[in-house]
Amino acid sequence: MGTIKDFEDLEIWKMARELVNLIYMDLKDCRDYGFKDQATRAGISIMNNISEGFCRNSNAEFRQFLNIAKGSAGEVKSMYYIAEDQQYVKQITSLDRRNKSQRLINSIAGFMKYLKSGNKT
């Protein structure tokens, strides 16, 4: 992997951006404002922790922020079970978003492993 100069070039950041936009779209009409706020904050946390970690001075710090982002992706995945159970979204939508969240979790974990092996971004 070549040197990446901007966090916007990271595939995991692009995936997180797509997911957060889907969350906003899915919940735009949701009147459970506490739920909506929590779900959108979790999505935003994924994106922001990836970008903030990228801008840190070391791979160790970056991995720490990626770990937080991975946790937030797990939270989004869980929130979509609630969204489905409360009928805020259709089952097919919930399944798709949970799958996207899981792919993001796996991708972040893979990238963390890559960084831990001494590779540079």
pLDDT digits (tens, 9 = 90+) for 108-121: 999 999 998 877 66
- Is residue 27 a contact partner of residue 88, using CB atoms and an 8 Å limit? yes
- Cα-flanking dihedrals φ and ψ of residue 119, to 5°? -75, 150
Please, what are the domains in the chain? 8-116 (1.20.1440.60)
pLDDT above 90 (res 2): no
pLDDT digits (tens, 9 = 90+) for 95-107: 999 999 999 999 9
C-alpha 114/C-alpha 21 separation (Å) is 27
The pTM assigned to this predicted structure is: 0.94
C-alpha 17/C-alpha 69 separation (Å) is 12
